[in-house]
Structure 1
Amino acid sequence: MTMPHAGTPERSVVDRALSVLGAFDRQNRTLTLSDISRRSGLPLATAHRIVNKLHGWGALERSDEGGYSIGLRLWETGTLAPRCSPLAEVAQPHLMELHARTSAGALLVIRDRVEGLCLSFAVNGPHALMSCAESGDRVPLHASATGLVLLAHAAEAVQNEVCAGPLRAYTPTTLTHGPALRQALAKVRREGYAVTHRTPDPECSAVAFPVRTADGTVVAAVGVVAQADTFRPAKLLPLVSATADAVSQHIRFAGRRAAGATA
């Protein structure tokens, strides 16, 4: 049995199970047992034991070729997340309409600590734009229009953490200096929306507006991502604003209805 190094706490069973699940990502959807062991940092025997448990519960599925992928049971559990499912369901038809009217990729993003998380999307044409490739993608707060909207309305502690860096330079136009990012966030709050050019994708530009609850709390951001060469913010701004307002109104109505049902 492999013993932990002196002074190094042994990883709990939960930690090890989470490291197995964390071995999967967008670029590694199917992994062999050896892959899981290597990517999780677990001994092969330990990985095998945990994988068997997860497979038995349905968190992992095994193909005929022996590879493992995330199972439907885990996906079903994930859909219960209260911040995700209702918002995504409400937003999707509005995003589809926004996409149809702009021919641009349309997306809904929420903040998960110091990252954005794409909940819902409508993407156009043969080129899947980086920032809204599919639901579940992570979006950098400092380098995307939706991220800037979310960060501008986040708690001061979150803003301080992100601005303190390091800030990854996705392209030459990415904001990588904390004071410059703070100025950009102040501009977003002042103007009510965010616009980015060629960041985080050098071929794309974007615009985003906040989604608010009845008390004004920003819970998400609606944005569109278009090819930078044909990007026309003056045309997109009113359309994206109207979509964000429509999603906000649905959220407020759902909140009033829920409050009435429990009165």
Structure 2
Amino acid sequence: MTTHPGAPERSVVDRTLSILGVFDRENRTLTLSDISRRSGLPVATVHRIVNKLQGWGALERGAEGGYSIGLRLWETATLAPRYSGLAEAAQPHLVELQGQSGGAAVLALRDGTESVCLSFLSNDPGLTAFWGDPGCRLPLHVTAAGLVLLANAGVVLQDEICAGPLRAYTAATITDGTTLRNHLSKIRREGYAMVCSTLREGRGAIAAPVRNARGTVVASVGVVGPLNMLQPTRLTPLVMATAEAVSQHDRTEGWRMAGVGA
């Protein structure tokens, strides 16, 4: 039986990616046994690949023997064009938005059916711990930032998500496809999204789209905070102005964002 010359290499890559993929926010430090169990790979295979990853700096071993994502892998990830240019361009505007609004300022982009947090500026430890880690992923239908991204996504994706199932985080989370579709139309018409207690009771958010030079929505900017702080007449203009300021950066200086909006 003839083996395709590329097959062994792809197999190694697949196994390596499987090992890196077992780490998440609830499993930041894992033993070799944990990695083996979660990846479905033999311990001997895991040991061999983990040693290679540790040597390169993709994984680090703690004093107690557990492994976690290494600094070099994090440094490499920050070079992603969809992250670096946009995050840098938005940062001063997010700082200003946080100061003016009194809430948490957030920047997110879409990856498939989820929103990914790029930046989250907050003085509220409760908010930060719940939502604010860069890289935090949430379904698009749950947050204001995600709804903005979904409202401006393609019809195929909207149909897929509206078809459900839609996970409920609170009693206020939209879980009906028709209701969600109508809400998306409203967001496109008004140019912003507002939610109350859809992710966490007593907290809400307002978000607006960030557009590149072609007018394509590539990200969303928002304010998150307690419901008594969420005054639409005051905050909506601030959020929309911030989104426009970040968008304007692309028209004047340009982002290092090859492939953004894809």
Please give the TM-score of this superposition, normalised by the length of structure 1. Answer: 0.89
Q: Does 2:72 align with 1:73?
A: yes
Identical positions, percent: 62
Unaligned runs of 5+ in 2: 1-9, 258-262
Q: Which amino acid aligns with 1:110?
A: L
The CA deviation at 1:16 is 1.8
Q: 1:45 and 1:175 mapped to 2: Cα distance?
A: 46
The farther-off stretch of 68-77 and 143-152 is 68-77
1:238 — aligned with what? 237
1:221 — aligned with what? 220
Question: Equivalent residues in 2 for 1:30-49 (5 A)?
Answer: 30-49=29-48
Residues 115 and 130 of structure 1, relative CA distance in 2, 3 Å threshold: farther
Deviations 1:53-104 (A, max 9, x none): 2112211011222111111221121112111110001111111111111121
Q: 1:201 and 1:234 mapped to 2: Cα distance?
A: 22
Alignment size in residue pairs? 248
1:84 — aligned with what? 83
2:122 — aligned with what? 123
1:183 — aligned with what? 182
Q: Which amino acid aligns with 1:116?
A: S
Does the 8 Å contact 2:60/2:68 carry over to 1?
yes
Deviations 1:117-174 (A, max 9, x none): 1111201233224664121111220111011100011111111121121110111111
3-state SS, counterpart of residue 69 of structure 1:
strand
The CA deviation at 1:246 is 0.7
Does the 8 Å contact 1:143/1:199 carry over to 2?
yes
1:105 — aligned with what? 104
2:5 — aligned with what? none
Q: Which amino acid aligns with 2:141?
A: H
Q: 1:86 and 1:212 mapped to 2: Cα distance?
A: 14
Residues 126 and 77 of structure 1, relative CA distance in 2, 3 Å threshold: closer
Q: 1:127 and 1:134 mapped to 2: Cα distance?
A: 12
Unaligned runs of 5+ in 1: 1-10, 259-263
Does the 8 Å contact 2:170/2:199 carry over to 1?
yes
Does the 8 Å contact 2:144/2:195 carry over to 1?
yes
Does the 8 Å contact 1:98/1:243 carry over to 2?
yes
Q: 2:117 and 2:151 mapped to 1: Cα distance?
A: 17
3-state SS, counterpart of residue 236 of structure 1:
helix
Does the 8 Å contact 2:120/2:128 carry over to 1?
no
Residues 256 and 43 of structure 1, relative CA distance in 2, 3 Å threshold: closer
Please give the TM-score of this superposition, normalised by the length of structure 2. Answer: 0.89
Q: 2:129 and 2:173 mapped to 1: Cα distance?
A: 15
2:55 — aligned with what? 56
Q: 1:104 and 1:119 mapped to 2: Cα distance?
A: 17
Does the 8 Å contact 2:193/2:206 carry over to 1?
yes
